[in-house]
Amino acid sequence: MRTITYAKALNEALDESLQADEDVIIYGCDVGRWGGIFKITGGLQTKYGADRVFDSPISENVLVGAGVGAAVMGLRPVVELQFADFLITAGDEVFFKAGMWRFMHGGAFKVPMVLRLPSGETGAGPEHSACPEAYVMHSPGLLCCVPSTPADAKSLLKQAIQSDNPVMFFEHRRLYQQRGEIDDDAPLIPFGKAAIRREGRHVTIVAWQMMLNRALKAAETLAEEGIEVEIIDPRTLAPFDFDTILTSVKKTGACLVVEEGYRRLGVGAEIGARLFEEALPYLDRPFRRLAIPDVPISSIPALVNRIIPTVDQIVATVREMAA
Amino acid sequence: MRNDVLADIFRKSLLTRVFEDRFVKLAMEGVVPPLLHPGAGQEVAQIAAIAALKDDDPVLYAHRGTGYMIARGVSMRAMLADCAGRAGGTNNGKGGIMHVVDTSKGIFGESGTLGGGLVISVGMGMAVKKKKTGQVVVHFFGDGGSNRGTFHESLNWAAVQKLPCVYICENNGWAVSVPVSESTAVENIADRAHGYGIPGVIVDGADPAAVMDAVRTAAERARSGQGPTLIEIKAIRLRGHYATDPQDYRADAAEVAKNDPLETLRARVISMGLMTEAEVETLLTECEAEVQQAVEEMQASPPLSPEAAFEDVMV
């Protein structure tokens, strides 16, 4: 076991994928010479050459669309959009081309591409701060990763690059410098397998990335009060491991989703709806959500912190649920 | 231009016209949805352009017409099956006539959002360049599609990377009901090539030799690593936007019909002595029989299972 940062884990996943498969290419704004604005692709152009790791113009539509075209012709492109928000800028290419090109041509193609999407609040304003994974979870034809630890980040990114399907890969910027243990001999994590980050019997919390960190912190405070929460990290939102949540809810009878996306029709709304459909007999308290209220995310920390779910809010909500 | 090539372009253009006219009839009868955007008036140029390429050069086609597919020998029965919801189509009923695909013949499909294929072509060009396959990626689109932002992003980045791509804009003067003069600031789409530092070439869509020359030159340039070319084919649209479009917004239809490139080519083939009037009539009968057989075979195919709705989403 060794300890590395989430950023380093992503860089290693890219490095090892380039090493293993000549068909892997990486491109995006600033990813070449500069190593990416968040330095995830650092050193890769020097090591593998500018024909495999290269810079692009600021042209999100063609960045994603060319990824689909290159994938159709047998490459495995890994494309970086600098901010996950730009998923919407390239909406035609993400949702119609990556998500549907194979389907609308009757399965004639495989689309093995990965779109790397650094997400989360950075104080850079409403168009550079969102966690828009619910859009992907809502849309057919796309896989969706939301890794929370360095080990998961590396494993899921390698798995995403090896996948024959298009993968939207959300990396949380606030986690880039977070360190964690990694086992280099561990097999790759399969898509659609949640992790239980903490076991407990009173309330089930579903959270990922920065909200997972906050949920884990809240759990410590709650444990001191005798409230034992079970925390589930879905790791991938498409496919989604509902069974692990269902098993937990059968035990706890209560579920809270904490997410950094917008509340209305967010990931939590989907989980709540499924619990209502499939787990009503096991829920003895109302399902709850903590999410960003439905306003844009501003650029001033005081305003941002007002709307992103906090440790204190998680503690308070679970106390109400456990009462 | 070789006489046998010209005769082949005529034969395939005639077959395309007969096929599409029959398709429109089938749409009127309710056998297929009226989603074909007839290519009448543009098929000669489409087929001449394909004739200038190698058989394995990947083609992304425009939404108007089936000349590209007929040129490459895609099954008419399969195309009809795609539209009629029958088994044995090229896209398993998922995309109808808009997304006909046959990679074994280099037909790589079409974007439903117009101009949406331009971005795909860039990645295909990147792939064939990296894999050094020697192929040229050819993308057809209309004057309407050229007004998407994807046109700018794609031609710019293809030019920067000197990709082996050929961009062919069939300018028929109309984007659905809007004339190009009201939608487009430049007189010639090809003028935009200056903005990307690539050649911009204008050819007459009624002159198959000129189309072939332009496409051959562009393909050679692309194959030799010098990058993309933008070719503008000055075309005419003889039919409506879609199969049953009454075109009541249009005053030029009768005038345009006098300049049908297929009629021009027919007269030329006869005047050059490549075929007699009687032989052209025989060819027409043969095309009608071939289309009739495709229709019958399509109608003999079983309907797709509704469960096909769940197939082909992912690997």
The CATH number for A27's domain is 3.40.50.970
Q: State how beta strands A76-80 and A114-119 pair.
A: parallel
- Domain hosting A297: range is 195-322
Do A152 and A204 lie in one domain? The reply is: no
Residue B253's pLDDT is 87
What ranges make up the beta strands (E) of chain B? 59-60, 137-142, 165-171, 174-175, 178-179, 200-204, 229-234
Do A217 and A285 lie in one domain? The reply is: yes
- Count of other CB atoms within 10 angstroms of residue A216: 19
Residue A90's pLDDT is 98
SS3 B195: helix
Choose the mutation target among A48, A76, A81, A105 for the interface with B, i.e. most B CBs under 10 Å.
Answer: A105
Residue A95 lies inside a defined structural domain of this protein: yes
Beta strands across the sheet bearing B59-60: B59-60, B137-142, B165-171, B229-234, B200-204
Residue B79's pLDDT is 97
Residue B260 lies inside a defined structural domain of this protein: yes
B256 versus B44: the higher-pLDDT residue is: B44
Q: Nearest 10 degrees: CA dihedral of B221, B222, B227, B233? A: 80
Residue B66 lies inside a defined structural domain of this protein: yes
Do A282 and A311 lie in one domain? The reply is: yes
How would you class B136 by CB atoms within 10 Å of its CB: exposed for 0-12, middle for 13-18, buried for 19 or more? buried
Interchain contact A67–B (C-beta under 8 A): yes
The one-character DSSP state at A73 is T
Residue B313 lies inside a defined structural domain of this protein: no
Q: Do A75 and B130 touch (CB under 8 A)?
A: yes
| Last residue in a domain, options A147, A182, A217 | A182
Interchain contact A55–B (C-beta under 8 A): no
* Tokens coding B174: 């109309």
- The widest CA-to-CA distance across chain B, in whole angstroms, is 54
Q: A297: domain CATH number?
A: 3.40.50.920
Among B101, B122, B157, select the one facing A108 at the smallest CB separation. Answer: B101
Q: pLDDT tens digits, residue range B19-34? A: 999 999 999 999 998 8
Residues 6+ apart with CB under 8 A from A248: A196, A204, A230, A232, A255
Residue A273 lies inside a defined structural domain of this protein: yes
Cβ-Cβ contacts under 8 Å, A25 against chain B: 126, 130
Q: Find where tokens 């939404």 sit.
A: B63
CA dihedral for B304, B308, B313, B315, sign (positive or negative)? negative
Do A112 and A66 lie in one domain? The reply is: yes
Q: How many whole angstroms separate alpha carbon A255 and alpha carbon A245?
A: 9
Structure ipTM? 0.96
Catalytic residue annotation of A: 128
Do A153 and A216 lie in one domain? The reply is: no
For A263-301, give the DSSP string: STTSHHHHHHHHHHHH-GGG--S--EEEEE-SS---SSH
Angle A79-A103-B82 from CA coordinates, rounded to 5°: 145
Do A141 and A178 lie in one domain? The reply is: yes
Mean pLDDT, 10 residues at a time, chain A of 323 residues:
97 98 98 95 98 98 98 98 97 98 97 98 91 97 98 98 98 98 95 98 98 98 98 98 98 98 97 97 96 95 96 98 91
Q: How many whole angstroms separate alpha carbon A289 and alpha carbon A265?
A: 11
Q: How many whole angstroms separate alpha carbon B245 and alpha carbon B230?
A: 30
The one-character DSSP state at B310 is G
Do A200 and A171 lie in one domain? The reply is: no
Report whether B262 contacts B13 (CB < 8 A). yes
Among residues 105-124 of chain A, which lie with CB inside 8 Å of chain B?
105-110
For A167, the enclosing helix (H) or strand (E) is: strand A167-172
Amino acid identity of A76? R
Q: How many whole angstroms separate alpha carbon B76 and alpha carbon B82?
A: 10
Which of A266, A86, A105 minimizes the C-alpha distance to B91?
A: A105
For B128, half-sphere exposure in the C-beta direction (CA atoms, 13 angstrom radius) is 27
Residue B314 lies inside a defined structural domain of this protein: no
What ranges make up the beta strands (E) of B13-119? 59-60
Residue B286 lies inside a defined structural domain of this protein: yes
Residue A257 lies inside a defined structural domain of this protein: yes
Do A261 and A314 lie in one domain? The reply is: yes
Angle A282-A286-A290 from CA coordinates, rounded to 5°: 120
In DSSP terms, A231 is beta-bridged to A198, A205
Do A167 and A210 lie in one domain? The reply is: no
Residue B219 lies inside a defined structural domain of this protein: yes
Which of A158, A161, A163 minimizes the C-alpha distance to A188?
A: A158
pLDDT band for B243, please (50, 70, 90 cuts). Answer: confident
Domain count, chain A: 2
Which of B19, B35, B43, B31 minimizes the C-alpha distance to B244?
A: B35
Do A177 and A216 lie in one domain? The reply is: no
Cβ-Cβ contacts under 8 Å, B90 against chain A: 106, 108
Report whether B91 contacts A102 (CB < 8 A). no
- Count of other CB atoms within 10 angstroms of residue A46: 12
| Last residue in a domain, options A182, A208, A242 | A182
Residue A189 lies inside a defined structural domain of this protein: no
Residue B1's pLDDT is 80
Do A177 and A199 lie in one domain? The reply is: no
Alpha helices in chain A (DSSP H): 6-20, 44-48, 60-72, 86-89, 91, 99-104, 133-138, 150-162, 210-224, 242-252, 267-278, 301-307, 311-322
Q: How many whole angstroms separate alpha carbon A67 and alpha carbon A218?
A: 41
Among B109, B130, B154, select the one facing A51 at the smallest CB separation. Answer: B130
Q: Which residue of B has its CA nearest to A60?
A: B153
Residues 6+ apart with CB under 8 A from B163: B122, B125, B126, B129, B137, B222, B227, B228
Q: Which residue of A has its CA nearest to B148?
A: A61
What ranges make up the beta strands (E) of B40-164? 59-60, 137-142
* Tokens coding B232: 């503008």
Do A173 and A236 lie in one domain? The reply is: no
Residue A187 lies inside a defined structural domain of this protein: no
Residue B246's pLDDT is 87
Residue B309 lies inside a defined structural domain of this protein: no
Q: How many whole angstroms separate alpha carbon A119 and alpha carbon A128?
A: 8
Domain count, chain B: 1
Residue B157 lies inside a defined structural domain of this protein: yes
For range B173-202, the mean pLDDT: 96
- Domain hosting B135: range is 3-297
Q: B56: domain CATH number?
A: 3.40.50.970
* Tokens coding A166: 């298009």
